[in-house]
Structure 1
Amino acid sequence: MSKFSKKKSGEVPAVSTASLPDIVFMLLFFFMTVTVMKDNSLKVENILPNANEIKKLDKKDRVIYIYVGKPSKEYEKVYGTEPKIQLNDKFSDPSEVGSYILQERAKKHQDLQNFLTTSLKVDKNANMGLISDIKQELRKVNALKVNYTTYEGDAFRNLQ
């Protein structure tokens, strides 16, 4: 007779679920560390203009955003239809831009403070006078590196 016998039943062994909680918590921690929370909600209508030659900003942690545009429908009754400046989650005057830039600059690491870029996300129907006021305030606080955020496309479509 033989020393080895064949298994008669072809049952598949049960899958061990002992490591399942470990895997779930590992995925949870991964997504908690990787996910970036949205900083602020857009309160202005922001239809960006088109531009022919654009360059992508590489390091988003070195950018301070200023939004300019007509208040969205829910804020139109309170603030009207004229273009407004949005700094973080509130509407502001051009005179507040300088202090906002200084506050945002102070939040950044000392090594990054000299490399900060101010990105203007301006609606294509906004007044140039308002943009000029913002730029004057940026000059006062020595924030001279300014970027205009646009879409890639034919610049002549902005005239329509």
Structure 2
Amino acid sequence: MSKFRKDDGKELPPISTASLPDIVFMLLFFFMVSTTMREVTLRVKMHLPEATELSKLEKKSLVSYIYIGEPLPMYQKTFGKAPRIQLNDQFEPVESIQDFIIAEREAREEAEQPFMVTSLKIDDNTKMGIVQDVKQELRKSAALNINYSSRQRTER
């Protein structure tokens, strides 16, 4: 029974910290691999409309995003409050959509080009006039596979 007796004179050995750097680097490596960085800085207000019948895109690497909405307050002094089109990180006029689609096609392999999708992320309060203009430019550039981004409607 001496095995279970409390020894008053002995101190506990210190905890070994030799494996601590390995654990820290494993965690760091895990988060570096599993985290994706935001590719575009939003410059427009984005409150997506709600929808009930949604489907997820299969291959997000083939998706090109066009953002349409009112500029954020820090850009309103320069660009006003009217809805604007954002391609990548810049505000662009409607006429530059064809150049944007051509550049997106050239960035992909030839086998992937027929499967490219253009996703329109449009603010809830945006008028349809600018959206129709964007759709006309997409037709001119033969980008006919269009997706409208929305969020899932929650039942109240």
TM-score tier, shorter chain, comes to: 0.7 to 0.9
Aligned match of 1:101 = 101
**1:144 paired to 2:113:** no
Secondary structure class of the residue paired with 2:66: strand
Matched residue, 2:112: 112
- 2:79 aligned partner: 79
TM-score by length of 2: 0.83
Q: Using a 3 Å threshold, how does the CA distance of structure 1 residues 109 and 30 change in structure 2: closer, same or farther?
A: farther
- Against the structure 1 CA distance between its residues 110 and 69, is the aligned structure 2 distance closer, same or farther, given a 3 Å change threshold? same
Other-structure match for 1:58 = 58
Q: Which moved more, 1:133-142 or 1:101-110?
A: 101-110
Distance in 2 between residues matched to 1:41 and 1:133, nearest whole Å: 23
Counterpart residue type for residue 29 of structure 1: F
| Root mean square deviation of aligned Cα | 2.3
**How far 1:118 moved relative to its partner?**
0.6
Whole-angstrom CA distance in 2 between matches of 1:153 and 1:21: 46
* Aligned counterpart, 1:32: 32
TM-score calculated relative to the size of structure 1: 0.81
Corresponding residue for residue 19 of structure 1 = 19
| Ranges in structure 2 where 5+ consecutive residues have no aligned partner | none
CA change 1:153–1:82 in 2 (3 A) is same
Partner of 2:70: helix, strand, or coil? strand
Structure 1 residues without counterparts, runs of 5 or longer: 1-5, 155-160
> Share of identical aligned residues, percent?
49
Q: State how far apart, in whole Å, the 2-side matches of 1:146 and 1:20 are.
A: 50
- Residue 10 of structure 1 deviates from its aligned partner by 5.6
Amino acid at match of 1:95: E
How far did 1:47 drift? 2.1
CA distance in 2 between counterparts of 1:123 and 1:112 reads: 29
Shift of 1:50: 2.2
Q: Letter of the aligned partner of 1:34 in structure 2?
A: S
* CA apart distance, 1:58: 3.0
Q: Find the aligned partners of 2:114 and 2:16 in 1 and give their Cα distance.
A: 55
